[in-house]
């Protein structure tokens, strides 16, 4: 039911009529889906609905300008567009509403996202790239308003890189950088900082990005007068308009009910953006919301009668219908027949989607009933199990939790029985969980052959006369090797270009690789991240640099909501193997020595978190990551760039493994677990502890996510029978995470002779000045005394009380 793309210049009136009629059919189909969708929620079959009604016609005009290879980054109103590019059927629309977990039925997210969150497949079932130039692409939506904006910037920038950087293999990804990244956003969501940050950045970068603003004057119940200065976003953004003297945007305004003008506007926008790589803003005004914002409420509560009457008249579908009648494209009778047929088609599609959703679950229920019946017949608690079985049987349209919870409850009644039927029930439960759980949990990380943890370690090797250099030189030379080996790699961030980053880890590389591959950005962490996400989604290998760990909070929302969920929310059909490079810990003051690792670890499951203790280890992580298909955050030690490290002779080739710890000092009294900059203090404390007869083993975690996949820490604890986690995050932060891993995942408690301990920073932010660190974070003396205390408690005779 797709729309025809690229309206030709010379067509017959008959062709024209057919195309318009087809477009109208599409608009009415989409509207019927919205209307019936709302009813499905009100009758309880679906939980929640947010639909594209009132925005149909502009999306059809947009779809005509959208070509193969192009990308969308939009939000929940875009169902008509997805239908118009042939990527959403009626059945799939309803499969999304029901949250069907079968990707074949619900290709947007396999039921992981609420309906209205759209995506196409960039990867095949094995995680390999499809040819993105031969299909129409949509990056996977997220719910946070304006969250689609940073990624949009990167999707557009990829075209610029593909067009202008030599030597990249563009197969699968680009045709000379001719692809446009199309964004959509609601009028109210333009109030978000992410919108303004992205608009400014795209103007600076001059990338082929076309952003449509669907303006219906409201953001849920809140009117434009509370959202936007002058109640008009294109009016206040006028200054972005390019002119003869300066680059900028093309800005268009068009009414959302005017079919002919919309088509013309989108064609003009596409032309200038595709050919010249100029960003374009299309402010689509006078849109409506026939059913209000979502199924959660009714708009009669906040729109007055005048507005409601205007919305009824200027409903874009109604206006298109009127225009068709006025221009003799169809008669009223013809349209009525067409509308009736569509109603039926949508009803049929809905029914088919419901059957596809419910039938497999009904089959699972039948299986469970039969097993329960057999257990009931063989058990002395048969009456109770029969009751459970009968209760399940009365549920005509069960959820999976109804089925499995009945089976699990029934198992309790046969705890002490020993029958074949009990065994069958037990096996059934285990098999069910094993097959069903992944429907809800798979693909948090890559499940392809390129999974980062499959990369094996390659040690750095050294000449006998290896030079001792500043750590930053190892990094710099390794980045040079990376940029030579991977033409599709590039790095960008504040001060990353011209001066080669604030610590000179990229010194001289812009001169060697050009301003597009080693570049300075504005101060705008969220969109630096977005650049990386979008470019990684289009086959490039970006490294986004966040200048200091302390400032990653500006980008953390996008890392958490977008980057960390890409694989999960598409069930492995999209990926963004972005490397985020940052530096932090233990310099000076509140904002250059923070350690928000607890927050980071908890917010970005789905991204690897790597904490190398020196620059050789860091370089090795970059080498590993470039061979993998997963996103990662690498935190370099801010105080380590000038410390001496030996220069390896296999620069660019050695690899630090992901999820593998390293024992950096052996000992048998206690296991000290730490990472990053703090390790140097732990090592010094361990030397001093030896002087009083305490021989500590030190383990460098290196990789917080994933964590010690081989369970080496517990092996050490089996030897020492004591453990202490030392960390410069606050108590309850990363140290709590680490201890949880050791106790609950590695079962270390069975080897412990002393209480497991954490030593963390004071709860306040680190004070400035040379003493600030000492009185805010664990010091060598703190570590010494904490370890000594453990030994004193275990053996007060040999280790009398110190303090």
Ligand X SMILES: Cc1ncc(C[n+]2csc(CCOP(=O)(O)OP(=O)(O)O)c2C)c(N)n1
Q: What does the binding site for ligand X look like in residue numbers (CB under 6 A)?
A: 77, 143-145, 186-189, 214, 216, 218-220, 293
Which CB, 107 or 186, lies closer to ligand X? 186
Would you tell me the crossing angle of helices 316-326 and 305-314 to the nearest 10 degrees? 50
Residue closest to 432 by CA, chosen among 393, 405, 397, 414: 405
Contact between 778 and 680 under an 8 Å Cβ cutoff? The reply is no
DSSP, residue by residue, 576-637 = ---EEEEEESSSSSTTTS---HHHHHHH-TTSEEE--SSHHHHHHHHHHHHTSS--EEEEEE
Binding partner at 189 among Mg ion, ligand X, none, C-beta below 5 to 8 Å by kind: ligand X
Q: Which is nearer to ligand X, 218 or 788 (CB)?
A: 218
Looking at the Cβ atoms of 82 and 673, the one nearer to ligand X is 82
Q: Considering beta carbons, is residue 27 or 50 the nearer one to Mg ion? A: 50
* β-bridge mates for residue 167, sequence order: none
Q: CB of 197: closest distance to ligand X in angstroms?
A: 14
Nearer to ligand X, 93 or 432 (CB): 93
CA distance 786 to 207: 55
**Residue 521 binds: one of ligand X, Mg ion, none (C-beta under 5 to 8 A by kind):** none
Least gap, CB of 228 to Mg ion (angstroms): 10
Identity of the residue, 353 or 526, whose beta carbon is nearer to ligand X in the bound complex? 526
Beta-carbon contacts of residue 203 (< 8 Å; ≥ 6 apart): 240, 247, 248, 249, 279
| Min dist. Cβ of residue 165 to Mg ion (A) | 38
Partners of residue 541 on adjacent β-strands: 489
The residue (of 38 and 293) whose beta carbon lies closer to ligand X is 293
The CB-of-222 to Mg ion minimum distance in angstroms stands at 9
Residue 641 binds which entry of ligand X, Mg ion, none, CB below 5-8 Å type-dependent:
none
| Residue-wise burial string across 499-508, b where 16 or more C-beta atoms lie within 10 A, e elsewhere | ebbbbbbbbe
Residue 316: name the closest of 529, 530, 52, 131 by CA: 52
First-last CA distance in the chain: 80
Distance, C-alpha 164 to centroid of its chain: 28
Convert 157-187 into a string of H (helix), E (strand) and C (coil). HHHHHHHHCCCCCCCCCCCCCCCCEEEEEEC
Looking at 538-591, list the stretches that DSSP marks H as alpha helix, in order from N- to C-terminal side.
Answer: 553-561, 566-569
Which residue's CB atom is positioned nearest to Mg ion? 186
Q: Tokens 């390019």 sit at which residue? A: 242
d(CA 702, CA 656): 9
Q: Which is nearer to Mg ion, 187 or 758 (CB)?
A: 187
When the beta carbons of 66 and 218 are compared against Mg ion, the nearer one is 218
In the complex, what is the shortest distance from the CB of residue 187 to Mg ion, in angstroms, rounded to a whole number? 4
Answer yes or no: 592 catalytic. yes
The structure tokens 């980057």 sit at: 563
Which run of H or E residues covers position 565? none
Partner whose binding site includes residue 446, from Mg ion, ligand X, none (CB under 5 to 8 Å by kind):
none
Question: How many alpha carbons fall within 13 Å on the CB side of residue 404?
Answer: 14
Return d(Cα 185, Cα 142) in angstroms, integer: 12
Q: What, of Mg ion, ligand X, none, does residue 145 touch, CB below 5 to 8 Å by kind?
A: ligand X
Give the one entry of Mg ion, ligand X, none that residue 144 binds, where binding means its C-beta sits below a cut-off of 5 to 8 angstroms depending on kind: ligand X
Catalytic residue, from 277, 299, 592, 751: name it: 592
Cα(25)–Cα(715) distance, integer angstroms: 67
Contact 225, 191 (CB under 8 A): no
Distance between CA atoms of residues 682 and 696, nearest Å? 10
Report the alpha-carbon distance of residue 201 to residue 362 in Å, rounded: 51
At its nearest, how many Å lie between Mg ion and the CB of residue 224?
8
Return the number of the residue (194 or 698) whose C-beta is nearest Mg ion. Answer: 194
Sheet holding 71-73, edge to edge: 137-138, 71-73, 181-186, 209-214, 280-285, 250-255
Residue 40 beta carbon to Mg ion: minimum distance, rounded to whole angstroms: 23
What residue number has its CB nearest to ligand X? Answer: 186
77, interface contact from ligand X, Mg ion, none, CB < 5-8 Å by kind:
ligand X
User: Which residues make up the interface to Mg ion (CB under 5 A)?
Assistant: 186-188, 216, 218
Helix H segments across 206-331?
Answer: 233-236, 259-276, 305-314, 316-326
Least distance between ligand X and beta carbon 178 (Å): 30
Say how many CA atoms lie within 13 Å of 457 toward its Cβ: 11
Nearer to ligand X, 77 or 151 (CB): 77
User: What contacts 139, CB < 8 A, 6 or more positions away?
Assistant: 71, 72, 73, 119, 148, 151, 155, 534, 537, 574
Sheet harboring 696-700: ordered strands across? 662-665, 696-700, 670-674, 723-730, 757-761
Toward ligand X, which CB reaches closer, 297 or 522? 297
* Nearest in space to 777 (alpha carbons), one of 729, 716, 719: 729
Phi and psi dihedrals of 351, rounded to 5? -60, -45
Q: Can you say how many angstroms the Cα of residue 337 is from the centroid of all Cα atoms in its chain?
A: 44
Residue 293's binding partner out of ligand X, Mg ion, none, with CB under 5 to 8 Å set by partner kind? ligand X
Active site residues: 592
């Amino acid at each position: 039911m797709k729309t025809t793309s690229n309206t030709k210049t010379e067509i017959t009136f008959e062709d024209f009529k057919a195309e318009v009629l087809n477009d109208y059919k599409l608009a009415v189909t989409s509207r019927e889906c919205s209307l019936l969708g709302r009813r499905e929620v009100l009758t309880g079959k679906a939980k929640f609905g947010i639909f594209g009604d009132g925005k149909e016609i502009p999306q059809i005009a947009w779809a005509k300008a959208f070509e193969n290879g192009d990308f969308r980054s939009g939000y929940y109103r875009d169902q008509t567009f997805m239908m118009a590019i042939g990527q959403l059927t009626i059945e799939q629309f309803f499969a999304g509403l029901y949250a069907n977990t079968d990707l074949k039925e619900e290709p947007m997210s396999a039921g992981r996202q609420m309906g209205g969150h759209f995506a196409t497949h960039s990867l095949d079932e094995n995680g390999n790239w499809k040819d993105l130039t031969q299909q129409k692409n949509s990056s996977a939506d997220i719910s946070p308003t304006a969250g689609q904006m940073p990624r949009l910037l990167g999707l557009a920038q990829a075209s610029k890189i593909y067009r202008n950087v030599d030597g990249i293999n563009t197969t699968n990804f680009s045709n000379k950088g001719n692809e446009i990244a199309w964004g959509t956003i609601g009028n109210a969501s333009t109030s978000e900082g992410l919108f303004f940050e992205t608009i400014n950045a795209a103007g600076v970068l001059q990338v082929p990005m076309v952003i449509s603003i669907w303006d219906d004057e409201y953001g849920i119940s809140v009117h434009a007068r509370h959202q936007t200065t002058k109640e008009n976003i294109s009016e206040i953004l006028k200054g972005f308009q390019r002119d003869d003297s300066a680059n900028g945007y093309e800005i268009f305004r068009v009414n959302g009910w005017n079919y002919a003008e919309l088509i013309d506007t989108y064609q003009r926008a596409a032309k200038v953006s595709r050919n010249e790589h100029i960003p374009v803003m299309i402010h689509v005004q006078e849109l409506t919301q026939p059913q209000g914002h979502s199924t959660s409420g009714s708009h009669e509560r906040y729109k007055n009668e005048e507005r409601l009457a205007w919305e009824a008249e200027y409903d874009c579908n109604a206006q298109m219908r009127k225009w068709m009648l006025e221009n003799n494209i169809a008669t009223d009778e013809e349209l009525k027949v067409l509308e009736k047929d569509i109603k039926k088609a949508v009803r049929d599609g809905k029914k088919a989607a419901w059957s596809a959703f419910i039938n497999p679950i009904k089959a699972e229920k039948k299986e469970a009933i039969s097993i329960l019946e057999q257990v009931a017949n063989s058990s002395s608690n048969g009456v109770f199990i029969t009751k459970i079985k009968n209760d399940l049987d009365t549920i005509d349209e069960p959820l999976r939790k109804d089925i499995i919870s009945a089976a699990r409850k029934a198992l309790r009644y046969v705890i002490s029985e020993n029958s074949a039927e009990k065994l069958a029930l037990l096996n059934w439960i285990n098999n069910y969980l094993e097959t069903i759980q992944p429907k809800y949990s798979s693909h948090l990380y890559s499940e392809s052959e390129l999974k980062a943890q499959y990369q094996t370690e390659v040690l750095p090797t050294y000449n006998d006369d290896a030079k001792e250099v500043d750590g930053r030189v190892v990094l710099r030379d390794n980045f040079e090797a990376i940029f030579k080996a991977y033409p599709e790699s590039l790095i960008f961030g504040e001060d990353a270009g011209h001066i080669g980053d604030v610590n000179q880890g990229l010194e001289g590389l812009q001169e060697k690789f050009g301003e597009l591959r080693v570049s300075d950005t504005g101060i705008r962490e969220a969109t630096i991240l977005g650049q990386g996400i979008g470019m990684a989604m289009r086959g490039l290998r970006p490294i986004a640099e966040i200048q200091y760990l302390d400032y990653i909070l500006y980008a953390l929302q996008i890392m958490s909501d977008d980057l960390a969920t890409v694989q999960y929310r598409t069930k492995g059909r999209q990926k963004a193997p972005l490397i985020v490079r940052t530096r932090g810990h233990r310099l000076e003051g509140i904002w250059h020595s923070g350690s928000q690792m607890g927050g980071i670890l908890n917010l970005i499951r789905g991204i690897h978190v790597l904490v190398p203790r020196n620059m050789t280890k860091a370089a090795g992580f970059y080498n590993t990551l470039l061979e993998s298909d997963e996103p990662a955050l690498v935190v370099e030690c801010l105080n380590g760039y000038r410390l001496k490290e030996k220069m390896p002779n296999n620069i660019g080739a050695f690899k630090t493994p992901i999820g593998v710890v390293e024992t950096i000092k052996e000992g048998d009294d206690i296991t000290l677990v730490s990472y990053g900059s703090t390790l140097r203090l732990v090592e010094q404390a361990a030397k001093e502890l030896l002087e009083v007869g305490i021989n500590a083993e030190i383990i460098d975690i290196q990789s917080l996510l994933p964590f010690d996949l081989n369970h080496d820490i517990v092996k050490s604890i089996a030897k020492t029978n004591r453990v202490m986690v030392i960390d410069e995050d606050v108590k309850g932060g990363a140290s709590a995470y680490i201890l949880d891993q050791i106790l609950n995942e590695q079962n270390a408690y069975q080897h412990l002779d002393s209480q497991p301990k954490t030593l963390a920073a004071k709860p306040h932010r680190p004070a400035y000045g040379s003493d600030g660190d000492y009185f805010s974070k664990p010091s060598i003396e703190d570590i010494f005394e904490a370890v000594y205390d453990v030994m004193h408690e275990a053996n007060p005779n040999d280790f009398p009380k110190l303090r």
